[in-house]
Amino acid sequence: MSRKTGILISGRGSNMSALIEAAKGPGYPAEIAVVISNNLDAEGLKYAEEAGIATAAIDHRAHDSREAFEHVVDAELREHNVELVCLAGFMRLLTAEFVDGWRDRIINIHPSLLPAYPGVSIHERVVNDGVRISGCTVHFVRAEMDMGPIIAQAAVPVLPDDTADTLAQRVLTSEHRLYPQALRLVADGRVRVVHERVVFADPETESAPLYVPALRGNTR
């Protein structure tokens, strides 16, 4: 039985699109029930609507506080019987109250190998620091920004001639592969959180969400 999933976005929602397409596959354990954006003009809303998914635009600026905004978001998620929440380019920090209300049922993707490089301007920082390997991480959300038990990671090489833009595109390609796999594991009940670490159901599951750098010729 598919678990109803809500996706929160703020922009074009490329990771949202990857999740929607994955959920169309036979036997995928999550059903995308609703897409919610805090940006009324988010491009991702149109994509979701064309895919036949319910959408809601909830302008955070129309509310007096973060808590008031989140109350409306929470009500919308529950209206659609959502069990899991995916953040996909959602550019709002969530309060501890909201996160605790969805504890171990809300996941996020971040474009670095956490705990390295939390925050913003990740790719610029990686290139400037001369890092050789970067990547992306899917994790359970906690109140602290870019913190929480790690579910899955994908590594990509940082090439000598990389710019922030070329690295960002390589990482994004891995994000589109990793996020649907991580949601599959969570929705299938094949991962759980024990003492703030993810525990996998079996050795096969444990190796599933790990990707390593490709050879140079296959990275573009």
- pLDDT bracket for residue 23 (50, 70, 90): very high
124 and 213 housed in the same domain? yes
- pLDDT bracket for residue 48 (50, 70, 90): very high
Q: pLDDT of 134-145, one tens digit each?
A: 999 999 999 999
Q: What is the CATH number of the domain that holds 31?
A: 3.40.50.170
Q: Rounded to whole angstroms, how far apart are CA atoms 9 and 93?
A: 12
Give the count of domains, the chain.
Answer: 2
149 and 192 housed in the same domain? yes
Q: Which of 78, 102, 126 finishes a domain?
A: 102
Q: Which of 67, 102, 137 finishes a domain?
A: 102
Set 60, 63, 71, 110: catalytic member: 110
114 and 218 housed in the same domain? yes
23 and 78 housed in the same domain? yes
pTM of the predicted structure, to 2 decimals: 0.93
Structure confidence at residue 212 (pLDDT): 57
- pLDDT of 46 over the 50 cut: yes
159 and 72 housed in the same domain? no
The answer to whether 110 is a known catalytic residue is: yes
- pLDDT of 59 over the 60 cut: yes
Q: Which of 102, 132, 162 finishes a domain?
A: 102
- pLDDT of 6 over the 60 cut: yes
Find out whether 138 and 113 touch, Cβ atoms under 8 Å.
no
Range of the domain at 14: 1-102
- E strands, 78-213, are 84-87, 106-110, 133-140, 150-157, 191-194, 197-200, 210-211
